[in-house]
Structure 1
Amino acid sequence: MARVQRMLDACAELLDESGYSELSTTRIAERADVAIGSVYQFFPDKKAITQALGLRYLDMFSLRVTGRLSEGVFEHWTEAVDVVIDEYLDMHRNVPGFRSLHFGDTVDVRLLDSVDDNNRVIADRLRDLLTSIAGVDDSDTLDTAITVAVESADAVLKLAFRRDPDGDPLLIGEAKLLVRGYLGQHFTGNRPEIGWQG
């Protein structure tokens, strides 16, 4: 619905301008040019709006990674690591609100899901992409590997953006190296031991 999308766009703009602490349903309604009642028709409070925005970012991220992974055959599986990190970086730099919200940790570590933390939700989504697009066999080993890779990359990339608003290139490179090296313990050559079929 167009009104909801306008509210989410307004939320993203306001997050970039003044952060979550200054965000309010009133300000979102004003920026989206809708009545405050329209906001409450869909969202009980500002947290619910930021949750919807975080889920929109997750869907956008998934679509972008899916598109990149589907473009062609990689010479080596590590190129998939670069795709995932590069898409995250591009969203951080160019998608309104993402720099402030990411996938929701600034608001609540369980913003995307009431049971699992945000990184767990992202890891599940990436695991689904790898099994459906790249033909990786799903397993407990894959689940653990993706979970550790997401947590590690998240920590180093947050540090990269704390050091440089556009992301410290050295630390970005280190994040890629870290994830490749870790996954390399499970993957051998061009075919991972955990089931790469591409």
Structure 2
Amino acid sequence: MATNSAKSSGMRRQPRQVRSQERVSQILDVAEQLFIDKGYNDTTTNAIAAGAKVPIGSLYQFFPDKGAIVGALAMRYTDRLHHRFMELDPAEMANLSLAAYVDRIVDTTAQFFADYPGYHSIFMQVQGTIPELEAIENAADTQLIEDLAASLSRYHSGLATADYEAIAFTLVKAIGTLLWLSLSQEQIFQQRLVTETKRLMLSYLQSYFAMD
């Protein structure tokens, strides 16, 4: 699993010891902030190593280049978003009204984007320039689709597995795209797009879930 994760993110290898894990985490934290503040193109691996207070050789033990660092950041964002949804209490979610259920899903996603501004800032800069990112994004969507399909089946039983998968696929792609686009807008319109995303999801689910 660790080897596959390293390959998919572009890392040379995954850190196994606690000290190495802390060092990689520090490198990623510093790189994330530099990419936001200075921009991806104007940030060097030397600057990242200096900010993380690690020898440049230590950085290259794990990352062959800046692209690999961005790939590792993408994997970290993916894991954190997945954990956000795993923290939602299944029993509580199953007892919500459909409107409240929709609010919880959309608000969780929107709050994640707000908590991690680098997710949008960095990937807008490197979009289309790092081939490995597409595979990471696809894997992230696949995980979210599985999570949402399972949540939907717990919330409202009676549909076929293929239906839950198709509904989840549609919602993950639609919600992700709309909320991603909202991040480039002024705050007032951004909030309006969040509201419209909820309206869209609610209407869509109502067409499948005949609520008593």
Give TM-score scaled by structure 1 length.
0.77
Give 3-state SS (helix, strand or coil) of 1:20's partner.
coil
Question: How far has the Cα of 1:166 moved from its partner?
Answer: 7.9
Give 3-state SS (helix, strand or coil) of 2:183's partner.
helix
The runs of 5 or more residues in structure 1 that have no matched partner are 191-198
Aligned-partner Cα distance in 1 for 2:124–2:104: 18
Identical columns (%)? 26
Matches within 5 A, 1:135-154: 135-136=153-154, 139-154=161-176
Question: How far has the Cα of 1:85 moved from its partner?
Answer: 2.3
> CA contact under 8 A between 1:10 and 1:32: conserved in structure 2?
yes
Alignment of 1:46 onto 2:66: yes
> CA contact under 8 A between 1:7 and 1:32: conserved in structure 2?
yes
RMSD: 3.0
> CA contact under 8 A between 1:69 and 1:80: conserved in structure 2?
no
Q: How many aligned positions are there?
A: 186
Aligned counterpart for 2:135 among listed residues 96, 108, 113: 113
- 2:33 aligns to what? 13
- 1:195 aligns to what? none
Aligned counterpart for 1:94 among listed residues 108, 115, 121: 115
Aligned-partner Cα distance in 2 for 1:53–1:100: 12
Identify the range of structure 1 (178-187 vs 28-37) with the bigger mean alpha-carbon deviation.
Answer: 178-187
Q: Aligned pair in 2 of structure 1 residues 166, 59: CA closer, same or farther (>3 Å)?
A: farther
Matches within 5 A, 1:108-187: 108=130, 111=133, 113=135, 118=137, 120-130=138-148, 135-136=153-154, 139-164=161-186, 168-187=190-209
Q: Aligned pair in 2 of structure 1 residues 19, 187: CA closer, same or farther (>3 Å)?
A: farther
> CA contact under 8 A between 2:27 and 2:49: conserved in structure 1?
yes
More helix by share: 2
Identify the range of structure 1 (5-14 vs 152-161) with the bigger mean alpha-carbon deviation.
Answer: 152-161
- Structure number with greater Rg is 2
- 1:37 aligns to what? 57
CA deviations over 1:31-72 (Å, ceiling 9, x no partner): 211111111111111111111111111111111121123472
- 1:64 aligns to what? 84
The runs of 5 or more residues in structure 2 that have no matched partner are 1-20
Counterpart of 1:143, as a letter, is E
CA deviations over 1:49-107 (Å, ceiling 9, x no partner): 11111111111111112112347243224434322322222222223623424699735
CA deviations over 1:93-134 (Å, ceiling 9, x no partner): 2236234246997355751626xxx2x433322233245566
Give 3-state SS (helix, strand or coil) of 1:187's partner.
coil
- 1:25 aligns to what? 45
> CA contact under 8 A between 1:50 and 1:104: conserved in structure 2?
no
> CA contact under 8 A between 1:11 and 1:49: conserved in structure 2?
yes
Q: Aligned pair in 2 of structure 1 residues 187, 134: CA closer, same or farther (>3 Å)?
A: closer
Question: How far has the Cα of 1:2 moved from its partner?
Answer: 0.5
